[in-house]
Amino acid sequence: MSRVVVTRAVPEAAVAVLHEVAEVRVCDQDRPLTPDELREAVRGADGVVAMLHDRIDADLVDAAGDQLEVVANVAVGYDNVDVPAVTGRGVTVTNTPGVLTDATADLAFGLLLSVTRRLGEGERLLRSRTPWNFHLGFMLGTGLQGKTLGVVGLGGIGQAVARRARAFGMHIAYTGRRRAAQEIESELDARYLSQDELLRTADVISLHCPLTDQTHHLIDDAALAQMKPTAIVVNTSRGPVIDEKALARALQEGRIGGAALDVFEHEPEVDPGLLELDNVAIAPHLGSATTETRTAMAELAARNVAAVLTGQPPLTPVTA
């Protein structure tokens, strides 16, 4: 019988899918495996269900052995996987697109509202039992109506955020490697801009691009210098898309208006400068963190493994 290793606990519904086709080992530690532990855990496995913090590369494939057929990454992003090296050894790689789109878009917009309406700051004031009273100038934030949302990467999640922004009366601009389909532009009334023009003109810049060599530190000192002094940066993609220290400096010096962050450059660490600022809304990588979404992600990963191990094509393959 095939053997599948799951590198960290997943919902039981996903484990049940795997049990139909394989002997299953779920690693029971409550932390990411070290590289040595990961290589030891997958030894002899036919399939691996991996988390976004697991480095999947040629060394891991070699450690698993020639029988390894599939690695299912429980995430839509797969920057933790050396796809050419793994697929080049005949191993299928899959991810979990689609099922987390709405949850991540909800979280992105929630963080945006938190920073623009000072919700976190207000909650901290009340929890500290600081005396307060209502008056017309008390804790004023800024509205979103009539403002421009600049989306970097108008894929599924970027489109979902744009739809939410439209409901709030925002205008949509976007940039990316290529233009979106005409019907998407028409639906969102979205303008395609160069990256430089988007940085200069958008009131809110929301990042939805994959982490690649080209997007690493896409938002750096130079990019931040182009933004409006009132601009808000939202990141629910991957932490290293932003140079976190550069962002902290820009916020501390008042060169941009705020940031709303669900991901960080050196997770789980967060730049201390960001933690000290009231104009930063932060969450610990909760983009897909609903019971429904995380269960759907794990089940999709499990179905991918089951398909490959039973000679069927994967549902959501990743290609080099």
Catalytic residues: 238, 267, 285
CA distance 296 to 96: 9
Beta-carbon contacts of 117 under 8 Å, excluding residues fewer than 6 positions away, are 141, 142
Burial class, 71, CB count within 10 angstroms (exposed 0-12 / middle 13-18 / buried 19+): buried
CA distance 112 to 282: 10
- Please, what is the Cα angle at 147 between 143 and 153, to 5 degrees? 120
Q: Is the separation of the CB atoms in 138 and 126 below 8 Å? A: no
Beta-carbon contacts of 211 under 8 Å, excluding residues fewer than 6 positions away, are 77, 79, 237, 238, 240, 241
